Chains A and B, each alone.
Chain A
Amino acid sequence: MPEDMLDHLTAPTPPHANAAHAGQGRTTTPDIEDRLRRAQELGGAIPYEWDSRSNVLIAPPALGRLYGLRNGEELTYDAVVARIHPEDRERSRAAHQQAIQSGGLYEQEYRVVQPGGQVRWLFVRGEATCDANGTPLGLAGVAMDITARKEVEIALRQREAELAEREHFIRNVLASSDDCIKVLDLDANLQFMSEGGMRVMEVDDFGKIEGCSWPSFWSGEAGEKARAAVATAKAGGVGRFEDFCPTLAGTPRWWDVAVTPIRGEDGSVERLLSISRDITARKQAEDALKLTQERVELAIAAGKVGTWVWDIPAGTITADERLAAMFGVDPAEAARGAPIEAFTAAAHPEDRERVAAIMGEVVQRGGFYEVEHRLLSADGTVRWIVARGECQYDEAGQPVRFPGATVEVTDLKRAEEARELVTRELAHRIKNIFAVVNGIVAMSARSEPEAKAFADRLRERLTALAQAHEYVRPHSPRSRNPAQSSQTVQGLLRMLLAPYLQEGHERFIIEGGDVAIGPNAATALALIFHEQATNSVKYGSLSTPAGHVKLGCENTGAFYRLIWQEIGGPPISGEPHRRGFGTELAARSAASQLGGALAHEWAESGLVVRLSLPVERLRA
């Protein structure tokens, strides 16, 4: 090193001795001095002496060359200082002054600018010279060219900076990655782990696991996989596997691992790179999906559900094997997508048109598709199915896809039919019983003619009751009159009053809102209106050919109001003296059975009956 050399070279010149050779060429032993100078020059160190008071510089011409003085230019302190790089000049001068004042050593590196403009680095080392009193005289020292060393130094520093930057970059990349990046030696022992890796592996101190065998972190079969991956990477390949390994903190984690070789300059595998990616979330999602799929599969299989997708533009239906079996279509063809006709042909001829119409309607208007229909298989077996689906449209609103599911309901249908049969049989018997009772009443009255009127009224009431009963009896979807979706007050009234209708003459005008009615309320209401109608036939507007009854209905939400208004009957003189049993019955059942109120208004033009009933009670 040049500095060592300088030390060696300058050492023999003790500070106090400088005074002795401070004079111009005044040497005691010129030979020795000359030899020393030569030695210094050969070593690249040019000696100088500068008297600060006289500003005289004593130095060999080599110093002038060192500072880049021109040929013939006088070697002076100022000429030399003028060559110092402008940026270093002040620093240099200040150091000289400092050295002179303090009388100590001074050492400096600075640049000088050569006449050609190139810059050289000089190393200068000197000492203040003093007179016998210790008063500083100037400086004596050596200067040497250190450009080469400096360039190397700068280059090194630059490279270091670059390396530091690159390392910083790599470190940042590694730190920011959530992958666990590790470097292993050829024995698969841990040498390095990225910051991000420590984060995901929940390692607080790498020191604790440094040097540990990486495959030993994996247990059981996973350990085998890890060892196999290491072997593969050592052989120059990429070892990959997915398995489970808890973090150091014990958090369960699934990893996707790749082990790759890191090669040295000669191409041989020196170390191994292991990158583990946390795939727990994916694994969980996969597991959840698998479970869902299994459940769906199970549900589909257990429920005998056939699934299908109708590709509307292509006119094909892609279906699973269950639907194919249901419709008698080849399963392979159904899986590929069979023409829709292959499926529609399986529908029962009597249902085909209806199904096509409903499907067409859904395609055109959107909404949910649900249809129940029969299938007629080649051997003549009839089965019932329910199909549900939904039409999907592209951005232009064109129907493109129609996925759906179909389930066979033949058994359900049979059960429903059986239940319907029982219900029908029961209804049949109840009606029969009413008829038998009516017969007994008629028989009984036969022997007592004075009871005939009584018997007639009794059987009429019983008949009204039977009608109400029939109207509100529990209906299956198929026994219900399609025109009536549910039982209502007006529906019941229309049925009850039907016997009083005469062809070509409107005897009842029913107006206003309707309301649902339950079985209990229906029997009460049937009796009330039966009495009203029979009385009207006897005494009121229905007793004349032109008379009629207007029935105004109003549903207020909480109450249902009915106004029975007789029109066109004989004039009424006022309230009858005696209240008939029917009227009594009607008033009582309105109050107690229906929780409502019944009021009669005996207007001269005709009777007006007002009935107000809580909607809640009507549902009972």
Chain B
Amino acid sequence: MMSRPSTLALVFAGAIALASCQEGSSFTSAPTPTPTPTPTPPPTGATFNVEPCLTQMVRPGVTVAILFIPDTLKLDFSQPSLFPNGRALPDPVIDYTLAALFLDLTVHPITTLHSIPLGPPANDRPFRSQFPWLAPPQGNPPLDQGLGRNFDIRTDPASAYVRVDRMGMPALATALISGANRIPYNDDDPAVDFTFKWVPEIQGNLTVLTNALADDFDRAGLAICAEPEA
């Protein structure tokens, strides 16, 4: 897919900047503490109600809230296999997620930001058309040759292991769970999500983001799903 060059710029500073925002530079440079951003008052005092965002439909029968809570990828065989119905390898999940969270989907299709495109529109390597689907590794890394027979694979029960990470929906934990809650959120599971334990957290963070971004979407000519508070 051809992509148009697009330079978007923003100034962003605030308490929501997370230490978890890793751009991978840790692989190429020494770890450095993430500087604490200087809080700056919002440009406007506008506050928004994001409930219309959580209750809008992203695909038939599925609201934004249902999509994110519980934190699972959800797949309906009666609908096309395209995010947010499951997650296929080529799907531009971030652009679609941002559209679902911020835009009024009755006005703008979920493809709106991807159609710009906002981010890079596709992977840099074509995916395979059959199993294993993912593209072969790039460069010339040392690869196993498919040898060996008697592998020392553990047979310990799952109870002998301690959770490190969990993930269902892309970007959810990163975008809508604040730093202090990342570990407790990570330690939960969909059954706990289903008690709506994390709804206030998700709704609160989405509100903060919406309050900050609303005027910018407005200037972009995009209708948002959130409604101004009376």
A binds B: no
A residues apposed to B, CB below 8 Å: none
